[in-house]
A and B are shown apart, each in its own frame.
Chain A
Amino acid sequence: GAGVSQSPRYKVAKRGQDVALRCDPISGHVSLFWYQQALGQGPEFLTYFQNEAQLDKSGLPSDRFFAERPEGSVSTLKIQRTQQEDSAVYLCASSSGRDEQYFGPGTRLTVT
């Protein structure tokens, strides 16, 4: 069956540009997570949705980062005025409960 998909897979942005990263979770999965993974590091939690409600956004590094999941399925992570330190792989994961998370392939963002 279909897993978690993310688009684009690669994004190059000039410093100061806005970007939008999309996540399509597994159908029916209530929980959706966004993570940021820098090279050689573990995934760092950014935010969590239960259906359309954003229940935890404590990991968002600044107010330039915004996430939404308006209909409880597809989610978008938006980064405004990108900075070089935003360069990383952004991973989306979905889950049906409190057990395993299914990760998407990630979006590799490079800010030049």
Chain B
Amino acid sequence: GQQVMQIPQYQHVQEGEDFTTYCNSSTTLSNIQWYKQRPGGHPVFLIQLVKSGEVKKQKRLTFQFGEAKKNSSLHITATQTTDVGTYFCAGRSGGYQKVTFGIGTKLQVIP
């Protein structure tokens, strides 16, 4: 079945440093979503990418979808303590509604 790998699993950064998490799927995706889960909270939707090579920005966050629609990345510029949490990618294949989540990247920001 479809597998979604995500690296790194953990990342500690000094406040103000940049951060990137990478997501790779074993199959071609129809779309990919990114979610953020704060400690003790539930996943909250950030964005969805659909097109090959798509790049979307939300303030300090930049999301990319690979040309082959099998990989994606999330880059945060100049991290802040409010960025702390676990970032998940979630991929959808074909016409199915089922979404497969990656293991997540847990981001710690050191003030």
**A interface, CB within 8 angstroms of B:** 31, 33, 35, 41-45, 48, 50, 55-56, 58-59, 91, 93, 98-106
Contact = CB atoms under 8 A, between A and B. Distances in A.
Contacts of A41: 103-104
The 8 closest A-B pairs by CB, nearest first: A42-B101, A100-B45, A103-B42, A43-B101, A103-B43, A42-B104, A42-B103, A48-B97
Given A100-B48, A101-B45, A102-B45, A56 B88 contact: no
A41 B106 CA distance: 10
A82 B99 CA distance: 26
28 contacts: A31-B97, A41-B103, A41-B104, A42-B6, A42-B88, A42-B102, A42-B104, A43-B43, A43-B101, A45-B98, A45-B99, A45-B101, A55-B97, A56-B97, A91-B42, A93-B43, A98-B31, A98-B97, A99-B48, A100-B33, A100-B45, A100-B48, A101-B33, A101-B43, A102-B45, A103-B42, A105-B41, A105-B42
Contacts of A31: 97
A101 B97 CA distance: 11
Contacts of B48: 99-100
Contacts of B90: 42
Interface string B73-111: 000000000000000101010001111111110000000
A52 to B, nearest CB: 15
Contacts of A45: 98-101
Given A42-B102, A56-B98, A58-B98, A104 B45 contact: no
Nearest to A47: B98
B44 interface: yes
Contacts of B41: 105
